[in-house]
Amino acid sequence: MKRDYYEVLGVSREADEREIKRTFRRLARELHPDVNQRDPEAEEKFKEAAEAYEVLTNPERRSLYDRYGHEGLQSRGFSSSFQGFGSFADIFDAFFGGDPLFGGGMRPGGPSHGGDVAVAVEISLEEAATGASKDVEFEVVETCDRCRGNGAEPGTPIVTCPRCDGAGQLRAVTRTAFGQLVRSTACDRCGGDGRIAERPCTECSGRGRKAARRRLTVDIPAGIDDDQRIRLSGRGHSGERGGAAGDVYVLVGVRPDDRFVRDGNDLVTVVDVPAPSAAIGTTVNVPTLEGDEEVAIGAGTQPGAVVTLRGRGMPSLRRGSRGDQRVVVNVVVPRNLSAEQRELAERLQSTLTEENLRDPAEDGSLFARVRRAFR
């Protein structure tokens, strides 16, 4: 049993034509299979909504329906005009002139831009700092060498398509609420080109393109960051009918490095310093991108203190200058003291004064010092 047309569209019986059109367009897009993939009945629901729309936007049919319902329409010979459509796409094309999500189709028979290709490559932090060259391999659709893209066996002619007589389009006239609509679609025989190969190419079966595996060397610039992309113009899938080739996008992944945390163009390193050494001053080996380096730790260095190595960070992609390396000091308190060590620590503790424990000139908060390291 058919549902009430007003219920199908979700409008009241007093709704005007403008409201009905607005509601139908919203509903149609919600029911598109690309958006509503989980609902296998989306296409049938759209057809039901389209039938309701056609009736309720036609004053004569709406009046008849309001008075006598579905039976009244049938008794007067009115029926859905959507029975002649072959698919959901046909219906949507008649109402909206093309695909609802992508704003209409391309002109049949014209050049078609080739698709893009995405490929990933992984590098180390050192390679990100100095730049690197990496080989990448990927599948691509390229122009057939044998027929040079025209789809014909070499030496054989290309003839006018007998199905569309060279027009590249097929036309169909459909009656809708708007009157007669003429729909043009690309010819299914020639793909909209208007011509076909008399003898298809034996290498690409007349397609003019074939799958191939391509290998490219990618120059990765110094200073690149994780998840950044490099675009190689015109190296993707070849276009059809003389269309431009697509691009290759190389997604660069920078492997994490246990020694460093990257903060923009700066690098942050943490070094452990025993508490007695931090109190009297010492030197420690600090890893850098160029190898270990001795760094002086001044007497009285506090936990979370930061020593900055200027120009030892990552290079900038744009300016060429380098960031800094910030060395965060982690003061390690000794554990498992021997009796002698404990006695020495107790003797030191008994001599400490307020002057030894606090520097009034600086914020002694550990959190404040750590925050400064990441500024």
pTM for this predicted structure: 0.58
80, burial (CB in 10 Å: exposed 0-12, middle 13-18, buried 19+): middle
Contact 253, 229 (CB under 8 A): no
Q: Which mean pLDDT values do the consecutive 10-residue runs of the chain (375 residues) have?
A: 87 89 79 60 79 86 84 65 49 48 43 85 95 93 88 90 87 64 76 84 86 92 92 89 86 94 95 94 95 94 94 88 95 92 89 77 58 59
pLDDT digits (tens, 9 = 90+) for 103-149: 333 444 557 788 889 899 999 999 999 999 999 998 898 989 898 88
CB within 8 Å of 120: residues ≥ 6 apart: 250, 251, 252, 253
pLDDT digits (tens, 9 = 90+) for 268-310: 999 999 999 999 999 999 999 999 999 999 999 999 999 999 9
Task: Go through the domains of the chain in sequence order and give each one's CATH number.
Answer: 5-96 (1.10.287.110), 106-153+200-255 (2.60.260.20), 158-197 (no CATH), 261-373 (2.60.260.20)
The confidence score (pLDDT) of residue 272 equals 95
202-205 contacts, C-beta under 8 A, 24 or more apart? 202/146, 202/153, 203/144, 203/145, 203/146, 203/147, 204/144, 204/146, 204/147, 204/151
